């Protein structure tokens, strides 16, 4: 499965800690990320991560992959307290996850639930391109 990793600046360290804790599970999947987040996670964990542009460009590249159904899970640690100029892109990411039935976690609690579901095989329906309905 392809897992996209994105974190706002104030959540990058939390994403690094999360990926470190679940490195064993994440290592079994294809990981993509925005450049800075991907670099920090990769350096801390040794995980191989395909990195896209920094800032708005990387999110837009991941948006394109979402729109082509090339992302299976999105881990997107957002900072809901401090709005950013990229909030429009944030909403586009979430909207495309809804459109393409991509499981998304916007905080560590839902990320943990998704990662554990992934490990149990609960998301295997994504690889078949079929909804589990």
- Walk me through the domains of the chain, giving residue ranges and CATH numbers: 2-125 (3.40.50.1380)
Side-chain half-sphere of 48: how many Cα atoms within 13 Å? Answer: 5
Q: Is residue 99 classed exposed, middle or buried when 0-12, 13-18 and 19+ CB atoms within 10 A define those classes? A: exposed
Residues 8, 14, 17, 19, CA torsion sign: negative
Q: Which residue has the tokens 């999110």?
A: 59
Torsion of CA 103, 106, 110, 116, to 10 degrees: 60
pLDDT tens track of the chain, all 133 residues?
A: 999 999 999 999 999 999 999 999 999 999 999 999 999 999 999 999 999 987 668 888 999 999 999 999 999 999 988 876 656 678 889 999 999 999 999 999 999 999 999 999 999 988 766 554 4
């Amino acid at each position: 499965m392809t897992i996209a990793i994105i974190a706002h600046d104030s959540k990058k360290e939390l994403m690094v800690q999360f990926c470190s804790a679940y490195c064993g599970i994440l290592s079994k999947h294809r990981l993509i990320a925005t450049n800075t987040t991907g670099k920090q996670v990769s350096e801390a964990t040794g995980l191989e991560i395909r990195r896209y542009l920094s800032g708005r460009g990387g999110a837009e590249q991941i948006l394109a992959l979402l729109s082509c159904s090339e992302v299976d899970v999105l881990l997107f640690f957002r900072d809901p307290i401090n709005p950013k100029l990229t909030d429009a892109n944030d909403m586009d990411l979430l909207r495309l996850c809804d459109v393409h039935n991509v499981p998304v976690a916007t905080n560590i609690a839902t990320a943990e639930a998704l990662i554990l579901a992934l490990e149990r095989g609960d998301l295997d329906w994504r690889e078949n391109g079929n909804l589990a309905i």
